[in-house]
Copies of this chain bind each other. A is one copy, B any other.
Amino acid sequence: MKWSQTRVTETLGIEYPIIQAGMAGGATTPELVAAVSNAGGLGTLGAGYMTPDQIRVAIREIRTLTSRPFAVNLLLTDPVTVDQQQIARIQEKLNPIRRELGLPEWTAQTAPTQFAESFDAQVAVLLEELVPVLSFTFGMLSDEWVAACKERRIHLMGTATNVREALLLEQSGIDSIVGQGSEAGGHRGTFTGEWRDSLIGTMALIPQLVDAVQIPVIAAGGIMDGRGVAAARMLGAAAVQLGTAFLTCNESGAHPQYQQALLDSTEQQTTLIRAFSGKPARGLTNRFHEHLDPDAELLPPYPIQNALTRDIRQAAARQNRTEFLSMWAGQGTRLSRQGSAGELIQQIVEQVEHLYL
């Protein structure tokens, strides 16, 4: 069988088993999503932090740019208890940064009361727009959402960081599983137990997931080029998901200085950071991380901390202050390259085909 013919390419109707990860925060522009899909992969809109209206607009824009399948990624949110003292304590740590950025200081009273978009309202848009694929992270879809998506033939793709999560996701009735190795950039998808106990490297994780479940496994974490794609296929993955590799593409919405930081970074410069969102995410270390790291155990949980730091991240982006920007990155950063997303996919395909000779 050809390396590019897998259960995932067949089910999704795509040419190559290469998925661009749905990174929340603005990197996955409609142009990037469409460019990946037009090149034969599966582009993904990282819609986790978008309002339902923004998601609808983006989906429609993607559809003006491609007629091929694409995915939308959403982030599940657990119900959280709001602890005003905890929030006040962290605002004390955040306000000096706000002063430095010329932002108004916040108090517990001026802090947001809504911390994340309504997941139900976000999914409702995907159902109405009949997106081909819904990928999701941080947990499992309710039975009702699974049934509603199946009725509309929307392919469901969950995220697992260990075998137990993969089994739970399979039992929930979804179609495929992204196995997220410890190398992966961005948020850890762990939704059972301690995140520290689910930092399994891709090389070890994928075969163990493949042995455990019947539905296709998609490998994520540390894959940056054709070598990684070919390796993941050998491990039994039916497809791969790349995030960091697409951040430095021409169509990426990642901040130019963030892109430059990726191109300049080494494999040793990422770490797991909770300071930006309350959940651990792999990214390039910077001053914001160092400033809050000593208090990591005191941070409000996701999505509260994420909402508290939004004004800072947005101002940092406007002011080109990478020291306060979240710069998610996987461990393969030395392999970051510039170019179009279509060129990246074409290079990967050529490299894999050469390796398979």
Contact = CB atoms under 8 A, between A and B. Distances in A.
**Which size class do A's interface residues fall under?**
35 or more
Number of copies of this chain in the oligomer? 2
A114 B201 CA distance: 37
Nearest to A183: B201
Interface string A213-227: 000000001111101
Nearest to A244: B204
A330 interface: yes
Give the one of A203, A236, A268 with max B CB within 10 A: A203
B197 A268 contact: yes
Contact of A208 (B205, B230, B236, B267): B267
Contacts of A355: 234
A266 interface: yes
Contact of A201 (B221, B230, B334): B221
A193 B225 CA distance: 28
Interface string A235-269: 11000000000000000000000000000001110
A334 B202 contact: no
B227 A332 contact: no
A234 B224 contact: no
A192 to B, nearest CB: 9
A6 interface: no
A163 interface: yes
Contact of A205 (B162, B230, B331): B331
Contacts of A205: 222, 267, 331
A335 B210 CA distance: 11
A48 interface: no
Contact of A227 (B162, B236, B266): B236
A264 to B, nearest CB: 14
B234 A163 contact: no
A88 to B, nearest CB: 30
A267 B163 contact: yes
A223 B198 contact: no
A87 interface: no
Contact of A203 (B164, B221, B266): B221
A211 interface: yes
Given A201-B181, A202-B201, A266-B163, A335 B228 contact: no
Contacts of A234: 227, 230-231, 233-234, 355
10 contacts: A163-B266, A181-B203, A183-B200, A183-B201, A201-B201, A201-B202, A202-B202, A204-B331, A205-B267, A231-B234
